[in-house]
Amino acid sequence: MPEKAIRDSKETGDSPLGNCVDWFRTNRNSLLAFARLQASGDLDADDLLAETIKQIARALADKRVSDSPDDLTPYAFTTIRHTAITWRRRNTNRRCSEQNYSTEAEATEQIQPWMSVSEDTDYLKNRLQEKLLQLPVELAEIIIMKTWSELSFSEIARITNTAKSTVDSRYRDALARLRKMLREDPIFY
């Protein structure tokens, strides 16, 4: 779906995303992982990423952000985060009533992998992903931004609107928790 948003904006002829396609292809997995963390499901994550692409296109057209990767990456993470918060606020009541009906569907929902590794390690990859998703969101999002997008602590601090020292301590806390969870899992040790 995010690819469709890029394609649609390119077809209109006045796409400010033209120069950003390579940037998106490079960062798609980390953006999607972050969107999955922020969203309630994979479909919502795709929608969230598509909405982010649209907002980036608007911001580029209005010259609120440059097409430099140094500007686009933090802007994209911030947009995903803010859009997810807005959607959660808007849908809280609706989701509560729907949750009663969708309990069975959620039980059968599978976690979609978002790490790029060989097929031999699919099981380990899924286990690691499960462990990462067990972390609190504020810790997991820092791991994703630092590891998959290679953002600095300063950039992550701007995106999450927290102090750099807070980001650093959350990162260390997240790594310690992951390490503990992995040590308790016989698959990893």
Q: Which of 85, 109, 133 is the last residue of a domain?
A: 109
Query: Regarding predicted confidence, which is higher, 60 or 90?
Result: 60
Instruction: State whether 129 and 100 are in the same domain.
Output: no
Angstrom distance (rounded) from CA 181 to CA 132: 9
Instruction: State whether 72 and 123 are in the same domain.
Output: no
Instruction: State whether 92 and 130 are in the same domain.
Output: no
Instruction: State whether 91 and 9 are in the same domain.
Output: yes
Q: Which of 70, 88, 109 is the last residue of a domain?
A: 109
Q: What is the Cα gyration radius of the chain?
A: 18
- Read off the pLDDT of residues 67-104 as tens digits, 9 standing for 90 and up: 787 888 899 999 999 888 888 777 765 655 566 555 54
C-alpha dihedral (82, 87, 88, 90), degrees to nearest 10: 130
Query: Regarding predicted confidence, which is higher, 67 or 56?
Result: 56
Domain CATH number, residue 157: 1.10.10.10
- Structural domain harbouring 134: 114-189
pTM: 0.60
pLDDT at 123: 73
Supply the mean pLDDT for the chain. Answer: 78
pLDDT band at 139 (very low <50, low <70, confident <90, very high): very high
In a 10 Å sphere around its CB, with 0-12 CB exposed, 13-18 middle and 19+ buried, how is residue 183 labelled?
exposed
Provide the domain count of the chain.
2
- Read off the pLDDT of residues 143-180 as tens digits, 9 standing for 90 and up: 989 988 889 999 999 999 999 999 999 999 999 999 89
